[in-house]
A and B are shown apart, each in its own frame.
Chain A
Amino acid sequence: MFTFLLKRLVQATIVMLVISLVAFAVKDNLGDPLRELTGQSVSEAERQAMRTEMGLNDPFVVQYKRFLINAVQGDFGTSYTFNRPALEVILDRLVATLELVFAATLIIICFSIPLGIYCAINPKKWFSKLIMAVSSIGISIPVFLTAILLMYVFSIELGWLPAYGRGDTANWLGWESGFFTLDGLSHLILPAFALASIMLPLFIRLVRSEMIEQLSSEYVKFAYAKGLPQRRVWYVHALKNTLLPLLTVGGVQIGTMVAYTILTEKVFQWPGTGFLFLDSIQRTDTPVITAYVIVVGLIFVITNTIVDLLYGLINPTVNLTAKG
């Protein structure tokens, strides 16, 4: 267990180093920070003096080292737009993004597992065929299009749900979230469904194919031969085995979903990190951009490590103390 954690820590560090290099390269090459900081009146000589003072003329390696040392301490510089530390700006907005991702994950779990199981055990019913057909369409429609369609139907035509914004939030145990107010929830529904729309069809298909594979396995046949009721064979024996590979894929996809929030948040004007990221690109707010890349990378690495640990805990044949 200890070796496993140590190994994962080393791997995570390497991954984070690579990500930081990318982030720094972005910072180094994207726009000119002086243009954002200074007005038209500053002369070229003064600009050069400021450059030297800020260390922008130092060699790449020196600058990267400085960047790393600061980054480890959580210092990504001050946002040009907000005049606050970039990390603080990101973390402020992160709650909203995670709220969205969490809601979308909930939707995916609640729909994909029952629907996938239904398709697996009733492969010939028309409803299963309908689910499969709709899911293949769902995979091929991009998120922003789904988002716009949802918005058009449910807020503009039907007027049931608000089209944009996050709505009211309430504080519960120090957690400021839209989950705790009716208004917040109604604002959450459309963006969450839009975000889930890209993964949901994929997961339905995944659950279905895994379940079909499990149902044709020998232990399922043996379970029937033992005289177990069909329900128990399906929902206890086959389901648990179905969920294992789902966990692995799910872990990776949650990370991917954080990335997809960029589009969803933009369309729904959701005040999260994705929305902030797009704005920052337009304003060339490099500290915020680099901080975003690093934070999202960190979320990726953490979720995947947790998933690997969980997998080892659930699957008795995986021994974390052995070769990692």
Chain B
Amino acid sequence: MSQSKHMSLLEVQHLQIEYPSRHGVMVAVKDLSLSVEAGEIVGIVGESGAGKSTIGNAVIDLLSPPGVIANGEVLLNGEKISGLTREQMRTVRGSKIGFIFQDPMTSLNTLFTIEQQMVETVLANEKVTYEEAYQRSIDMLNAVGIPKPELRIKQYPHQFSGGMRQRVVIAIALICNPQLIIADEPTTALDVSIQDQILQLIKTLCKERQVGCMLVTHDMGVVSSVTDKVAVMYRGELVEMGTTSQVLGAPEHEYTKSLISAVPRSDIKLVRFPMVNYIEAAEELHQLDIANHWLGQSQDQKAYQGPLLKVENVNLRFTTKDSIFASRREYVQASNNVSFEIVEGETFGLVGESGSGKSTIARAIAGLYAPQSGKITFEGIDLTALKNEQARRPIRRQMQMVFQNPYTSMNPRMKVADIIAEPIRFHKLAENNQQVDQIVADLLDHVGLGRKAGIKYPHEFSGGQRQRISIARALATRPRFLICDEPTSALDVSVQAQILNLLKDLQDELNLTMLFISHDLPVIRQMCDRVGVMRHGSLVEVGESEQIFTSPQDEYSKSLISLMPSFENLSKAHLQIASS
């Protein structure tokens, strides 16, 4: 090697990763070349299935079988590290390259203490005594900001919160002073406020220790706030790479533009998300003559005067520690004196971090949980006073839910048409089977799946398509009120943009009232007319969404809004796309 040529910390050259199977070879990553310098954070961004995690796994030779590196090589400090033997590779892992996984809940072994898991890492990679390794672990825990490390190190992973656990994972990844860290979606499973802390921690540690970092993420906000360079992946290919400000400020590739435009903006409310059909082209939405169609004729009730839904002083608690003595029982107050109103035709947003009680309220409204005290009135009927399922049934028809996870909220053994027809049949909303079939077909057309989708099973659809099925199912009872509990948090951004567009369109056509729950502030801003901010089971602030986002009154709302990842770069890109 000539000294004149500059050597990057990590050099990936013409990397091709393939998954051979009986049905032919699936190419996960195609002819990829990139480099990471010391002290530099390179973001790899793309949507699910783009092959971005595969790159990180290939670098440390942990591809899940049957994946293989078919071509190309990986160099660390000019030394080839692809194609090493298992033992040679082991000396690279941990000591030269640290790895941070997405979910801190599953990347630590639940049966071992933090001490055992940290010390074994040092002992496996370096020749030191147990005492030395222990001391290093304590120091490292200090460095990642874990208070009282001497005490905490004796604990098991489940005794840590999600954010603290991710700090432990980062501490383990860095404890042997690696030159490179690969972080695979390190903050996806965490709340916004913790996400920011973790990202800043990774950034500081990288700069301080001159460690290179490959940050794999789907979140443009994360990319924009911490990375120096960014590589955009699309279906296994690198479509664009450059400095972050360049790629986000002046994207060249069509896909990058589409991806950026799909990111919900935190600074201004748009009517619709522009150009998002690059990935998953939905069928053309069939326009229905709503006024004359079955869907539009639902409303046997006249427009109700006053708020459609009223939640008054709702209290709900769960038992965390049971005891035969009432005084020794412990509870968590999931909902603490919550009151709000939703008027017909509006979208009311509930926002807050995980565990703040957003979903609990939604479930209480839907009648899945019974509150200990308080009233929930729908069209003037007190839902908490309903005695049995029979009495609740007409309300259930008026009120439908779209759940967070489109993979688990459908029966995998039922065909899509039957899934959608079930509520129609159950509530006896159609006269005969022919009519049911007709309605189901129209609904499928209307949510952009096409009527042929009815004969398939849920597993044949992608996440976004499944969420469309969930929406069609929710619409099948001709509801007036739709509860959307994190409807897009399991989806990619571009798919999210499509689903949010669909919900907006349907709401306009059918005059739906919506309760929209999300932890994602920009999404809330794009969707909601009014917003309630929740914390620890209490509603800390309610107001017009524009007002909350521009001048929040409550301290907590202020901090939450200030923590939204900065979108300065993105905003520029939005403008550029809009003007072109």
A interface vs B, CB < 8 Å? 3, 6, 216-219, 221-230, 232, 237, 240-241, 244, 314-317, 321-324
B94 at the A interface (CB under 8 A): yes
B90 at the A interface (CB under 8 A): yes
**26 cross-chain CB contacts under 8 A:** A3-B322, A3-B323, A216-B64, A219-B106, A219-B109, A221-B107, A222-B99, A222-B169, A223-B109, A224-B62, A225-B60, A225-B101, A226-B121, A226-B124, A226-B173, A227-B121, A228-B121, A229-B124, A230-B90, A244-B111, A315-B110, A316-B111, A316-B156, A322-B320, A322-B321, A323-B321
How distant is A104 from chain B, measured CB to nearest CB, in Å? 28
With contacts A227-B92, A228-B120 known, what are 17 further pairs, Cβ within 8 A? A217-B106, A219-B108, A221-B62, A225-B60, A225-B93, A225-B99, A227-B176, A228-B94, A229-B90, A229-B124, A230-B90, A232-B120, A316-B158, A317-B110, A317-B156, A322-B321, A323-B321
The answer to whether A227 touches B106, judged by C-beta atoms less than 8 angstroms apart, is: no
The answer to whether B94 touches A227, judged by C-beta atoms less than 8 angstroms apart, is: yes
The answer to whether B176 touches A218, judged by C-beta atoms less than 8 angstroms apart, is: no
Using CB atoms, name the residue of chain B closest to A323: B322
The 8 closest A-B pairs by CB, nearest first: A227-B94, A225-B99, A218-B106, A222-B107, A316-B156, A227-B93, A226-B121, A219-B109
Q: Which residues of chain B are within 8 angstroms of A315 by Cβ–Cβ distance?
A: 110-111
The answer to whether B106 touches A316, judged by C-beta atoms less than 8 angstroms apart, is: no
Which one of B108, B322, B323, B324 lies within 8 Å of A222 (CB-CB)? B108
Q: Which residues of chain A are within 8 angstroms of B169 by Cβ–Cβ distance?
A: 222
Q: Which residues of chain A are within 8 angstroms of B158 by Cβ–Cβ distance?
A: 316-317
Q: Which residues of chain B are within 8 angstroms of A221 by Cβ–Cβ distance?
A: 62, 101, 107
Name the residue among A221, A223, A232, A322 with the largest chain B CB count within 10 angstroms: A223
In the bound complex, CA of A316 to CA of B91 (Å): 31
Q: Which residues of chain A are within 8 angstroms of B319 by Cβ–Cβ distance?
A: 323
Q: Which residues of chain B are within 8 angstroms of A217 by Cβ–Cβ distance?
A: 106
B103 at the A interface (CB under 8 A): yes
**Interface 1/0 per residue, B382-411 and A, CB below 8 Å:** 000000000000000000000000000000
A237-B112, A322-B322 known; A227 vs B107 contact (CB < 8 Å): no
In the bound complex, CA of A6 to CA of B322 (Å): 13
The answer to whether B107 touches A228, judged by C-beta atoms less than 8 angstroms apart, is: no
The answer to whether B109 touches A227, judged by C-beta atoms less than 8 angstroms apart, is: no
How distant is A2 from chain B, measured CB to nearest CB, in Å? 10
The answer to whether B322 touches A228, judged by C-beta atoms less than 8 angstroms apart, is: no
How distant is A175 from chain B, measured CB to nearest CB, in Å? 34
In the bound complex, CA of A153 to CA of B108 (Å): 50
How distant is A8 from chain B, measured CB to nearest CB, in Å? 14
Using CB atoms, name the residue of chain A closest to B56: A225
A227-B91, A230-B86, A321-B321 known; A218 vs B124 contact (CB < 8 Å): no
How distant is B62 from chain A, measured CB to nearest CB, in Å? 6
Using CB atoms, name the residue of chain B closest to A317: B158
The answer to whether B93 touches A224, judged by C-beta atoms less than 8 angstroms apart, is: yes
In the bound complex, CA of A48 to CA of B82 (Å): 93
How distant is A88 from chain B, measured CB to nearest CB, in Å? 39
Which one of A3, A228, A244, A322 lies within 8 Å of B124 (CB-CB)? A228
The answer to whether B107 touches A219, judged by C-beta atoms less than 8 angstroms apart, is: yes
The answer to whether A237 touches B109, judged by C-beta atoms less than 8 angstroms apart, is: yes
How distant is A14 from chain B, measured CB to nearest CB, in Å? 17
The answer to whether A218 touches B93, judged by C-beta atoms less than 8 angstroms apart, is: no
Q: Which residues of chain A are within 8 angstroms of B94 by Cβ–Cβ distance?
A: 225-228
Using CB atoms, name the residue of chain B closest to A244: B111
The answer to whether A240 touches B111, judged by C-beta atoms less than 8 angstroms apart, is: yes
How distant is A236 from chain B, measured CB to nearest CB, in Å? 8
In the bound complex, CA of A322 to CA of B328 (Å): 11
B245 at the A interface (CB under 8 A): no
Q: Which residues of chain A are within 8 angstroms of B320 by Cβ–Cβ distance?
A: 322
Q: Which residues of chain B are within 8 angstroms of A321 by Cβ–Cβ distance?
A: 321
Name the residue among A227, A228, A323 with the largest chain B CB count within 10 angstroms: A227
Using CB atoms, name the residue of chain B closest to A216: B64
The answer to whether B111 touches A218, judged by C-beta atoms less than 8 angstroms apart, is: no
In the bound complex, CA of A241 to CA of B60 (Å): 25
**Interface 1/0 per residue, B82-120 and A, CB below 8 Å:** 000010001111110011010100111111100000001
In the bound complex, CA of A324 to CA of B64 (Å): 38
In the bound complex, CA of A222 to CA of B176 (Å): 15
How distant is B528 from chain A, measured CB to nearest CB, in Å? 35
Which one of A218, A225, A230, A240 lies within 8 Å of B103 (CB-CB)? A218
In the bound complex, CA of A240 to CA of B99 (Å): 23
B569 at the A interface (CB under 8 A): no
How distant is A218 from chain B, measured CB to nearest CB, in Å? 4
B172 at the A interface (CB under 8 A): yes
Q: Which residues of chain B are within 8 angstroms of A227 by Cβ–Cβ distance?
A: 90-95, 121, 124-125, 176
In the bound complex, CA of A225 to CA of B94 (Å): 6
Q: Which residues of chain B are within 8 angstroms of A229 by Cβ–Cβ distance?
A: 90, 124
Q: Which residues of chain B are within 8 angstroms of A314 by Cβ–Cβ distance?
A: 111
Using CB atoms, name the residue of chain B closest to A223: B109
Q: Which residues of chain B are within 8 angstroms of A324 by Cβ–Cβ distance?
A: 322
Using CB atoms, name the residue of chain A closest to B156: A316
How distant is B257 from chain A, measured CB to nearest CB, in Å? 34
